[in-house]
């Protein structure tokens, strides 16, 4: 599936991620401990890197051949995004068998659906998706994602659902699940 978004939509996505970031960081610590947000966190690993880095610009950026893109459904009360995918961003293991082509680029993609501890009520956490995506040289992160799964976004551009998870909500504030509270 190839779901290309317009420049206007991709700009809205980047703005929405930045807005959520500033809202989460600005919370008083007393409130942050009792509440937080569940949303799709976006991570990147540059070619040759073996660690995730939180992507604060949103998926409307150019990515290089050999990069790995990561998405993780997270719960966070103090940082955006706070929980990187558990799957290591190893381009060699994800795309090692995919031959390079001068007309395209290869991007590793990891999508993790989070924990049952903070999944929306009645929704089942899906299995992790790990794929090597061959895409056009000009593709951005959102293009790579859209080639693999269905993407649902808010009118602001915020990524709300991937592969139908969660079904309806979009970056909602919830009470911190008991299993995540520090004892």
pLDDT per residue, tens digit, the chain (183 aa), is 334 444 444 444 443 443 344 333 333 444 445 899 999 999 999 999 999 999 988 898 899 999 999 999 999 876 566 789 999 999 999 999 999 999 999 999 999 999 999 999 999 999 999 999 999 999 999 999 999 999 999 998 899 999 999 999 999 999 998 887 776
Report the pLDDT value the prediction gives residue 81, as an integer from 0 to 100.
67
3-state SS, residue 104: strand
Q: Are 116 and 81 in contact (CB under 8 A)?
A: no
Q: Is residue 83 part of a domain?
A: yes
Report the pLDDT value the prediction gives residue 82, as an integer from 0 to 100.
74
Q: Indicate the number of domains in the chain.
A: 1
**Alpha-carbon span 160 to 12, nearest angstrom:** 13
Report the pLDDT value the prediction gives residue 136, as an integer from 0 to 100.
97
Q: Is residue 15 part of a domain?
A: yes
Q: Is residue 52 part of a domain?
A: yes
**Alpha-carbon span 131 to 148, nearest angstrom:** 8
Q: Is residue 116 part of a domain?
A: yes
Report the pLDDT value the prediction gives residue 63, as an integer from 0 to 100.
94
Residues in the chain: 183
Q: Is residue 24 part of a domain?
A: yes
Q: Is residue 57 part of a domain?
A: yes
**Alpha-carbon span 148 to 150, nearest angstrom:** 7
Q: Is residue 182 part of a domain?
A: no
Report the pLDDT value the prediction gives residue 139, as an integer from 0 to 100.
96
Which residues form the domain of 137?
7-176
> How is residue 142 written in tokens?
């959102």
pTM of structure: 0.80
Spatial CA neighbour of 45 closest among 62, 70, 27, 75: 70
Cis, bond preceding 71 (omega within 30 deg of 0):
no
């Amino acid at each position: 599936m190839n779901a290309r978004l317009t420049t206007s939509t991709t700009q809205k996505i980047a703005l929405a991620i930045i807005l959520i970031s500033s809202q989460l960081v600005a919370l008083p610590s007393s409130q942050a401990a009792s509440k937080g947000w569940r949303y799709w966190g976006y991570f990147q690993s540059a070619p040759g890197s073996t660690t995730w880095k939180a992507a604060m610009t949103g998926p409307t950026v150019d990515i290089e051949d050999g990069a790995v893109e990561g998405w993780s459904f997270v719960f966070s009360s103090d940082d955006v995004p706070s929980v990187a995918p558990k799957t290591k961003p190893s381009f060699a293991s994800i795309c090692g068998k995919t031959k390079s082509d001068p007309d395209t680029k290869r991007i590793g993609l990891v999508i993790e659906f989070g924990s049952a501890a903070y999944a929306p009520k009645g929704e089942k956490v899906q299995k992790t998706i790990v794929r090597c995506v061959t895409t056009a040289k000009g593709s951005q992160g959102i293009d790579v994602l859209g080639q693999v799964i269905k993407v649902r976004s808010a009118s602001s551009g915020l990524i709300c659902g991937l592969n139908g998870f969660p079904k309806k909500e979009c970056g909602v504030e919830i009470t911190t699940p008991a299993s995540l509270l520090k004892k």
